[in-house]
C-alpha cells in the first residue's frame, strides 16, 4: 500500500516535467495562481524545486479574487509552505528569493504560533520582520513577543534578530497609575531578558513595579 502514494507522486512529477515546456506563462498570470502555490500547498518539494529551476517566480502572488477564498488573505507560496510546517519547501523558496514579509499575516507569526524554532530561524535569517504588528494587535510593542512570554529560547532568538525591546518599556500611559492589562503574562524571565537590552530610558510606574518584584525574586 505504501507504494501507491509513491507511484502517484512519481506519475505527477513525470506529468509535470512534460507540461512545463509547453506552459504559457501569460495564461498562468491571467489565472491568478501559479503552479508554485500548488506545489507549496501540497508539500511537494521535489516538484517545487523543478518549477523554480524552470523559471517560475518564487514571488508570484495570488490574485485578489483567489485570496478571497482564504480567511487569512494569503498571497505567497511561502505562506503555504510555512503554514504546512514544510521546512524543505520554505528553504527552497527562500533560496530562490522569496520575500518573507508579503502576506497580511506575517509568515514569522505563523512559525511563532507553531513554536517551530527551525522554521523561525530560517525565516529570520532570510529577512523576516521581527518587529511586525499583526492586524489584531492590542499591544504597544511588536506582536512577536506575545508568543515568547513563556519561551526563553524563542524570546532570545527574537532579541538576537533585532526585536525592538524599547517599545516594551515605552508605555503610552506614562507615569499615570494604570492597570496591568498591558503587561499581563510578563514573567521575570521576560523582564530580565528585555531589560538587559536597555541601558537607559523612561520606565512607567507599573512596569517599574514589575521590575522591582523580579529583582527581589532573583536575589
**Per-residue confidence in pLDDT tens, the chain, 219 aa:** 333 333 344 546 677 777 888 788 888 888 899 989 989 998 999 989 999 999 999 999 999 999 999 988 999 999 999 999 999 999 999 999 999 999 999 999 999 999 999 999 999 999 999 998 877 655 667 888 888 888 889 999 999 999 988 877 666 665 555 555 444 444 544 444 444 444 444 445 444 554 455 445 545
**Based on the structure, what is the number of domains in the chain?**
2
Looking at the fold, whether 31 and 84 belong to one and the same domain comes out as: yes
The whole-model pTM stands at 0.76
Taking Cα atoms as reference points, which of 208, 71, 200, 190 lies closest to residue 141?
A: 190
What confidence score (pLDDT) does residue 6 get?
35
Going by C-alpha positions, the residue among 136, 157, 159 that lies closest to residue 71 is 136
Same domain membership, residue 178 and residue 83 = no
The domain in which residue 89 lies consists of 1-129
- How many whole angstroms separate alpha carbon 97 and alpha carbon 92? 9
Over 92-154, what HEC string results?
HHHHCCCCCCCCCCCHHHHHHHHCCHHHHHHHHHCCCCCCCCCCCCCCCCCHHHHHCCCCHHH
CA distances from 78 to 107, 108, 120, 164, 174 (A): 8, 11, 13, 25, 40
**The last residue of a domain, from among 104, 129, 154:** 129
Quick one: 79 and 187 in the same domain?
no
In this structure, the answer to whether residues 170 and 204 fall within a common structural domain is yes
Residues 93 and 191 in one domain: no
Residues 100 and 186 in one domain: no
Residues 5 and 36 reside in one and the same domain: yes
Amino acid at each position: 500500500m505504501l507504494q501507491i502514494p509513491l507511484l502517484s507522486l512519481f506519475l505527477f512529477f513525470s506529468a509535470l516535467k512534460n507540461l512545463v515546456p509547453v506552459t504559457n506563462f501569460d495564461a498562468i498570470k491571467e489565472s491568478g495562481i501559479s503552479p508554485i502555490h500548488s506545489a507549496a500547498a501540497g508539500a511537494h518539494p521535489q516538484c517545487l524545486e523543478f518549477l523554480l529551476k524552470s523559471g517560475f517566480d518564487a514571488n508570484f502572488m495570488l490574485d485578489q479574487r483567489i485570496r478571497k477564498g482564504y480567511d487569512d488573505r494569503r498571497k505567497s507560496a511561502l505562506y503555504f509552505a510555512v503554514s504546512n510546517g514544510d521546512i524543505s519547501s520554505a528553504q527552497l523558496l527562500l533560496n530562490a528569493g522569496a520575500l518573507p514579509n508579503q502576506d497580511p499575516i506575517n509568515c514569522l507569526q505563523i512559525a511563532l504560533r507553531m513554536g517551530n524554532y527551525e522554521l523561525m530561524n530560517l525565516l529570520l535569517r532570510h529577512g523576516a520582520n521581527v518587529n511586525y504588528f499583526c492586524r489584531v494587535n492590542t499591544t504597544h510593542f511588536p506582536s512577536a513577543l506575545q508568543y515568547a512570554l513563556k519561551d526563553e529560547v524563542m524570546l532570545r532568538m527574537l532579541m538576537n534578530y533585532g526585536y525592538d525591546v524599547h517599545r516594551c518599556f515605552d508605555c503610552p500611559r506614562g507615569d499615570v497609575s494604570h492597570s496591568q492589562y498591558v503587561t499581563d503574562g510578563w514573567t521575570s524571565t521576560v523582564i530580565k531578558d528585555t531589560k538587559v537590552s536597555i541601558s537607559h530610558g523612561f520606565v512607567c510606574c507599573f512596569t517599574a513595579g514589575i521590575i522591582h518584584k523580579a529583582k527581589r525574586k532573583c536575589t
